[in-house]
A and B are shown apart, each in its own frame.
Chain A
Amino acid sequence: MPFFKVASNTVVLVDDASGTARALTAFIDTVGGIGKQTAQLDVTSFADSAERIIAGIEESAEVTLSGPWSDSGTGVDAYLPALVGTIQTIAVSPAGTGAGARKITGEFLCLSYKVNMAVKGQVTWESRHKLDGTLNGTGTN
């Protein structure tokens, strides 16, 4: 079934505070919530026997990134603390960066960068990013 994709091929690029795309793939084990979503507007009237809806504007999706924390000079902790409160490009290639492979991109406001430390575990991190404008969900590498 070659049309299914293993997430281990996923590539995530996040622009740093200077606008340079940084490959953070090696520090990420989960990408959550990336994809287009739209508001629905209810246009049901007395004349309808069933609910009717139309599409509203594209909603600002919240994307989460997370993984094992590292103090690598090219890792998440080197870049993400400076991104909080700024809008940067995030590009996710779910099935790798081969020619023609899907590439999802958007401009995201970094809402938070969090470092979690729980007993018996490893140090982990997570960040939240809120889409500004439209998501390009049909791009390719």
Chain B
Amino acid sequence: MPFRSVSVVRFHFGGYDPGIQTTDVAITLGMDSLDPTAIVDVAERVLAGVRNDLCTWTGLFSDTAKALSSAAALVGTGTHAISVHIGTTTGDIAYLGTAFLLRQPRSMNIRELVREEAVFGMGGVWTRGVVLYSQTQATGSATGGAVDGTASSTAGGTYNVHVMQVNTGTLNVIWEHSATAGGTGVYTVLASANITTVTGTVFAVGSGTSIFQFVRHRHTNTVATGTFDIAAGFSRA
């Protein structure tokens, strides 16, 4: 029973990695309930309403570049990629989505640390997926491990990739899939992008397009001395 310490959890929003300042994160897959009880019923009845997924985050204020405190400029700027990785190894469970940063209230009290919270509005629902890649201070190029989805699917899927530190150069992030096993398979590109600044991006494949059984993350770095912090996750629809 692989229970998890919170120390392996990674939270990413846009191009930010607030791990060093985070104290609490909670994700909720939620549903409103409606009451269709009629006079002939001897007990209350319930019906499902609409989804109302949530994300709450609290932490300590930090002015480092990767801190969520620096993301204040994102408030009200539309949806951004949001990912919660419950582990840092390829294949660990991840919850992925898009979210608005609605507000970021800070509180300051004498003799205490400056505290901060972030309130997100989900741009849809959380999808359950897996960690494809998680690496800080990555240099050069690398290929992540393959995740076995047990079968090809045409239901679609998403790839959330966050690049949280860019020290010169261009990082080409590549989402690949293969119909044959693991690292020896012949991989083709599902999506790719050149990244030159901190960013969080969601690539989506709609229903009707095949995502093969094996999926992986790969990246190439155009400058040998450049370093990047990268986190990528994948979920099938």
Binding site for B on A (CB under 8 A): 26-27, 57-60, 68-72, 75, 77, 81, 84-87, 109-123, 130-135
Contacts and interface: CB of A to CB of B under 8 A. Distances in A.
B6 A122 contact: yes
B42 A120 contact: no
A6 B47 CA distance: 35
A130 to B, nearest CB: 5
7 contacts: A26-B1, A70-B1, A109-B33, A109-B48, A123-B5, A123-B6, A132-B45
A109 B46 contact: yes
Given A109-B31, A117-B6, A119-B6, A130 B86 contact: no
A121 B27 contact: no
B128 interface: yes
B1 A75 contact: yes
Label chain B's interface by main secondary structure: strand
Contacts of A86: 48
Contact of A71 (B4, B23, B35, B45): B4
Interface residues of B, number: 38
Contact of B2 (A72, A81, A85): A72
What 3 pairs between A and B have smallest CB-CB spacing? A58-B43, A60-B44, A85-B31
A32 B60 CA distance: 32
A122 B92 CA distance: 16
Nearest to A121: B6
Interface in B22-40: 22-31, 33, 35, 37
Nearest to B93: A71
Given A58-B42, A86-B48, A131-B44, A122 B4 contact: yes
B95 interface: yes
Nearest to A27: B1
Given A111-B31, A131-B46, 15 more contacts: A60-B44, A70-B2, A71-B4, A72-B1, A75-B1, A85-B31, A85-B51, A109-B47, A111-B30, A112-B31, A117-B26, A118-B23, A122-B5, A130-B46, A133-B43
Given A57-B42, A85-B48, A131-B46, A115 B6 contact: no
Contacts of A58: 42-44
Nearest to B47: A109
B45 A114 contact: no
Contacts of B92: 71
A81 B128 contact: yes
B9 interface: yes
Contact of A130 (B3, B9, B33): B33
A38 to B, nearest CB: 9
B43 A114 contact: no
B231 to A, nearest CB: 16
Contacts of B29: 81, 84, 112-114
Contacts of A118: 6, 23-24
A72 B87 CA distance: 13
B33 A117 contact: no
A62 to B, nearest CB: 9
B112 interface: no
Contacts of A113: 28-29
B3 to A, nearest CB: 5
B63 interface: no
